[in-house]
Structure 1
Amino acid sequence: MALFGRANSNILSLLNHCYCKKFTMGTSRLKSRSRTSIPSTIMQHKNDKQESILETEIVKRRNQACRSLLIQVHSSKSYNDLHNYCSRFGHILSMHHYYTNDQNFILVEFTNMMSINEVMSSASFMNRDIIPIKSSILWFRKGQIVTPQKDNQKKASLFVENGCVLPTKKETAKLLYNAKSISGQIIILYETMKLSDLEVRLRFHTAHYLEQYFSRLFENIKVLPFGSSINGFGRKRCDLDLVLVPEIEEVNIYVILVFHSKSTNNSDRHETKEFLGILANIMQHFIPGILNVRRILEARVPIIKFCYDYTRTECDLSATNMTAIYMTELLNLYGEMDWRIRPLVIVIRVWAKNQELTSDIPGHWITNFPLTLLVLFFLQQKKILPSLKILKLYSSRDDIRCAENGIDCTFLRNINKLPPDYKYKTNQDSLETLLYDFFEYYSTFDFQTYGICIREGMQIRKPSHSALHITNPLETTLNVCKNVSLHELNRIISKTHDAIYALETTNKLESNSWGIMTLLKINNGNAELKKSSTTKGQTEKIKEYPKDSYENSYKISDKFEVSETSIDETITKKKETV
């Protein structure tokens, strides 16, 4: 408790010092936007602008999180007792169970916030030396007496049971092996790897959980998830990116009483680092479930890395990084334009991971974000996706957005207003064709001379001496691959040659792995599966996709004519590249 007392006198004072200055400056930036390329119209239209698809989804998910409690239970069988007890406080919309780290949890969603407040008021702390801080994560104690269910009371049921299970390699291998085509394999992989509804709910609940604590220190503050968790390109167990942003309110010049606040002469970067450093201390010592807090404050965007124990998720928290939010919105928009985009991005990401081209540890290798930009740029060359330049050209006043430092984040957000060439696509290539063409395109790309730019939708002359140049679509002066070494670039090119060779030569009848299984290093060890047909579960997963994407069942050798000469050329190119 002495530690808690010191926090009140020292840490909270420092936090208010940093916060007041940090977010007061944010307001002044909004006022001064008339001096930037995007005028102050963003403030004029802030309240009446039309929300994008992602903005609407964020509002919906945040609302769900506010009306939900995460409760630890003895097992999934505890749901009926938990439902009977929680029903005292209000109507329950859904209950979602998952199991992690030898612990069972149920996410309970109520109809309104009043029920949440009543549950929180009825809860208590354990009788031991702890720091008493209330949160939306509770423990349903085993063996407690619960009111029996009434005869006319509707029986409870779990909406999801064990909802965060990652399929085993054997299960994945079986599904992929039994697919009718490589396109079918890609769809199955995407459906297997993408985040479920429960996993998305838990990520927004994590953000809300932190927001509950921080909002007790500061007024009008939000914690928002961004990146792969919400742009549709996320995979199971992927990291959760979070950003701390203020709800900026216009200053009322007619108000009589004004709050005192602290100011500082420190630079923005120093201020952000100091602010995050203090937040990291609070998270480490006072917020339950926050483990292994690491301060990465010297990065271009300073972050706090930590593990969220209740979902076993690795998280990154940054401050006032609105550019990342708008980048998430842009990638989500591209993902919504064509059903083939997200499955293709996922299979490329999984391929890169299994070929050790990407890593969870920072280094001189490519990461998932620039890898996704490579896929989007390739699809622009295929006339499947428009350039960001076109999206800006067709934008309206409702689409005006501006991030910190005057960064222009304006682009068309309504897919229905796309140019006809992109609404009614002439390119109807299958996922299999697109995957092969992706590897072929970058196996011969002149990376030494040209860079990638999805803003222009065409290759550009490299403005730097970096081995790989991919322009940040919103912050155009930045190269998102500045860290990638020449050795790693050569490995990427070499692996694309290997992928082409693998797709051309694998044969389902002669091997336990075929198609993308070879690319992903997945081997079907059960010989009996060779005679199996497509499973019922697999059919259900792919039935919502266009039939042409998975019904064209054919041998790989029929699609790609392979000769000894072409194989030798591929091997020669690979050796020359390395």
Structure 2
Amino acid sequence: MCLCPQLSDQMVELFDACQQKTSDLERKEACRARLQKDIQSIYAVARLYLTGSSMNGLGCRSSDADLCLVLKGNVSISDSVLLYVEMTQLIRAKVPILKFKEKDSDLEFDLNINNTVGIRNTFLLRSYAYADLRIRPMILVVKKWARHHQINDASKGTLSSYTLVLMVLHYLQTLKEPVLPSLQRDYPDCFYPFMDIDMVPEGPKRVPPYISRNQSPLGELLLGFLKYYATDFRWDKQVISVREAKALPKDNSVTWRNKYISVEEPFERNNVARAVHEKIKFDAIKAEFAQSWRILQDKKDLNSILPVGAIINKEVYLIRGSSY
């Protein structure tokens, strides 16, 4: 257990320095609105949504913004925005992404077309992020820790940020005295998976405030998170399910069979951790959880597993490098 308040204070310090500010979100939203207006001059029924960490409350000041363009019919992703942006790059993946920079601005975006599940999980995660004051600092620190230890890059066979967020939420849901409930289970009408996409942002507004009886400090929760995945969670037998707020037994279906890490996408119910497909990468992830837990349990100092000052300085440098 965390008996030293220093660890909690360090987590808050890191969060305060790195969290996305209201002004950052307003700039991204203004760009989204301008871009939507231009696109609607070509495709009148088009809708453009800000998604991902910028909108769900879990982003940093230096984070790129994710956009989802909702259109009907076959439309070229590049033809829709080429007149408005610069430095475009099309990433041909399962969900093609157009990376671009707004003209005469430092804002960078990743845009996809019709990946509507991204809109649904953005507003689900936003509801979790603001359900308790500890959630956003906890997740930001975990993502910074994972990035520092090189286990937060799905393109290199480790954990995506989305996977890490679900892992944190799952841990907080499964404590003896939970910090979070399952919002999908308790308020199914607010997070109905087939709700009209235009209504998705409205759903969470009907969820009443959640007050947990668990008042553990941030430092204690971080230690518990590392311990849970280092010693308690059964990677070979369990599936992480935020939808059910528990670990589900791993069955022999193609979704979970022979997967090193199984994390259920809350709406599509596929495996968001499928990028971890090499044993050497899986072993490295497990080793980082175990080593960081042992060190942090002994030191009670966030600097023992994460260079707080260097990360804050890097964030400040990235922001000063733009027009902030």
TM over 0.5: yes
| C-alpha separation in 2, matches of 1:425 and 1:208 | 37
C-alpha deviation, 1:443, in angstroms:
0.2
| C-alpha separation in 1, matches of 2:204 and 2:31 | 30
* AA of the residue aligned to 1:303: I
Match of 2:156 in 1: 363
Match of 1:186 in 2: 11
Normalising by the residue count of structure 1, what TM-score does the alignment of the two structures yield? 0.48
Matching of residue 300 in structure 1 with residue 125 in structure 2 = no
* AA of the residue aligned to 1:300: K
Aligned partners of 1:402 and 1:410 also within 8 Å: no
| C-alpha separation in 1, matches of 2:192 and 2:228 | 34
| C-alpha separation in 1, matches of 2:211 and 2:38 | 48
Normalising by the residue count of structure 2, what TM-score does the alignment of the two structures yield? 0.82
Matches within 5 A, 1:349-428: 349-359=143-153, 362-382=155-175, 383-393=178-188, 395=189, 400=192, 402=194, 413-416=205-208, 423-428=210-215
Matching of residue 224 in structure 1 with residue 49 in structure 2 = yes
Q: Could you say if the C-alpha distance between residues 310 and 354 of structure 1 is closer, same or farther in structure 2, counting changes exceeding 3 Å?
A: farther
| C-alpha separation in 2, matches of 1:384 and 1:437 | 12
C-alpha deviation, 1:222, in angstroms:
2.6
Runs of at least 5 residues in structure 1 that lack an aligned partner in the other structure: 1-178, 249-267, 507-513, 525-578
Q: Could you say if the C-alpha distance between residues 522 and 426 of structure 1 is closer, same or farther in structure 2, counting changes exceeding 3 Å?
A: closer
Q: Could you say if the C-alpha distance between residues 412 and 311 of structure 1 is closer, same or farther in structure 2, counting changes exceeding 3 Å?
A: closer
Aligned partners of 2:14 and 2:308 also within 8 Å: no
From 284, 290, 303, the equivalent of 2:86 is 290
Identity %: 24
C-alpha deviation, 1:186, in angstroms:
0.8
* AA of the residue aligned to 2:179: I
| C-alpha separation in 2, matches of 1:200 and 1:523 | 25
Match of 1:498 in 2: 291
Match of 1:517 in 2: 303
Matching of residue 312 in structure 1 with residue 113 in structure 2 = no
| C-alpha separation in 1, matches of 2:182 and 2:291 | 30
Match of 1:9 in 2: none
Matching of residue 275 in structure 1 with residue 76 in structure 2 = yes
* AA of the residue aligned to 2:102: Y
Secondary structure of residue in 2 paired with 1:217? coil
Match of 1:238 in 2: 63
Aligned partners of 1:400 and 1:410 also within 8 Å: no
Aligned partners of 1:403 and 1:409 also within 8 Å: no
Q: 1:138-177 CA deviation, whole Å, 9 max, x = no partner?
A: xxxxxxxxxxxxxxxxxxxxxxxxxxxxxxxxxxxxxxxx
Q: 1:388-442 CA deviation, whole Å, 9 max, x = no partner?
A: 452345x47xx6562689xx999765332x6xxxx34221111010000000000
From 448, 454, 459, the equivalent of 2:247 is 459
* AA of the residue aligned to 1:337: A
Aligned partners of 2:180 and 2:212 also within 8 Å: no
C-alpha deviation, 1:505, in angstroms:
3.0
Matches within 5 A, 1:534-549: none
* AA of the residue aligned to 1:446: R
Match of 2:219 in 1: 432
Q: 1:97-148 CA deviation, whole Å, 9 max, x = no partner?
A: xxxxxxxxxxxxxxxxxxxxxxxxxxxxxxxxxxxxxxxxxxxxxxxxxxxx
Match of 2:262 in 1: 469
Matches within 5 A, 1:438-449: 438-444=225-231, 445-449=233-237
Secondary structure of residue in 2 paired with 1:230? helix
| C-alpha separation in 2, matches of 1:236 and 1:225 | 15
Larger radius of gyration: 1
From 344, 349, 366, the equivalent of 2:138 is 344
Q: Which has the higher contact order (CA 8 A, sep 6+)?
A: 2
Aligned partners of 1:401 and 1:409 also within 8 Å: no
Secondary structure of residue in 2 paired with 1:305? strand
C-alpha deviation, 1:523, in angstroms:
6.2
Match of 1:17 in 2: none
* AA of the residue aligned to 1:378: Y
Aligned partners of 1:337 and 1:415 also within 8 Å: no
Match of 2:274 in 1: 482
| C-alpha separation in 2, matches of 1:332 and 1:453 | 17
Aligned partners of 1:402 and 1:409 also within 8 Å: no
Q: 1:452-506 CA deviation, whole Å, 9 max, x = no partner?
A: 1111111122232111110100111x11011113322221211112212221333
Aligned-residue CA RMSD (Å): 2.8
Secondary structure of residue in 1 paired with 2:50? strand
Match of 2:238 in 1: 450
* AA of the residue aligned to 1:467: Y
Aligned partners of 2:29 and 2:50 also within 8 Å: yes
Aligned partners of 1:294 and 1:305 also within 8 Å: yes
